[in-house]
């Protein structure tokens, strides 16, 4: 495993985030969300302290999608590591950059979480090596910046990892 991978927390920590998921992501009114929300628009239930005012009742209020959503720790990592604790509220000129970086970091963390699970499968030597290579690429040294993170989305690695996962169907 990449040296810095062991230090990456892949669980959400909403208290140490700037509520990126509540702002950056869009959702459509459905059985999962009670109303339509555009990307980069704060949820109407988000307070000034980046907390959800209906968190205890999300399911009952029609926000099953929020209950089921997992950022895999991408929110707090983007907030603290990429933007050094700066909030989109306090730095509106950087808000879109923050949301874009969060969106890609979420993909990075989701794949890292899946790769951790893949390591539990019976893999051959080549597959173990592929997992290690993907983990190293997703945890670069020096660490992510907003610019290289946003650019990373189009490099093709996410597609390579998806194809790798598809090739593991016989192992599950």
pLDDT tens for each residue of 88-118: 999 999 999 999 999 999 999 999 999 999 9
pTM attached to this predicted model:
0.93
Looking at the structure of the chain, the number of domains it has is 1
Alpha helices in 94-138 (DSSP H): 95-118, 125-138
Residue 3 banded pLDDT, cuts 50, 70, 90: very low
Is 151 a domain residue? yes
Is 150 a domain residue? yes
Give the integer Cα–Cα distance in Å for 159 and 114: 14
Is 78 a domain residue? yes
* Residue range 144-165: mean pLDDT, rounded: 95
Give the integer Cα–Cα distance in Å for 83 and 103: 14
Is 100 a domain residue? yes
Domain extent, residue 93, equals 3-20+71-171
Is 43 a domain residue? no
Are the C-beta atoms of 9 and 29 separated by less than 8 Å? no
Is 141 a domain residue? yes
Is 131 a domain residue? yes
């Amino acid at each position: 495993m990449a040296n810095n991978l062991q230090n990456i927390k892949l669980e959400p920590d909403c208290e140490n985030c700037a509520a990126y998921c509540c702002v950056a992501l869009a959702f459509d009114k459905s059985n999962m969300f009670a109303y339509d929300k555009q990307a980069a628009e704060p949820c109407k239930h988000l307070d000034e302290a980046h907390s959800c005012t209906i968190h205890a009742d999300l399911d009952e209020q029609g926000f099953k999608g929020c209950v089921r959503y997992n950022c895999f720790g991408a929110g707090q990592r983007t907030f603290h590591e990429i933007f050094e604790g700066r909030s989109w509220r306090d730095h509106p000129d950087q808000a879109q950059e923050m949301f874009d970086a969060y969106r890609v970091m979420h993909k990075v963390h989701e794949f890292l979480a899946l790769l951790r699970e893949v390591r539990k499968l019976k893999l051959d030597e080549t597959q173990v090596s592929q997992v290690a290579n993907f983990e190293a690429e997703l945890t670069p040294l020096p660490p992510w910046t907003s610019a290289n993170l946003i650019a990373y989305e189009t490099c093709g690695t996410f597609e390579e990892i998806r194809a790798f996962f598809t090739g593991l169907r016989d192992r599950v």
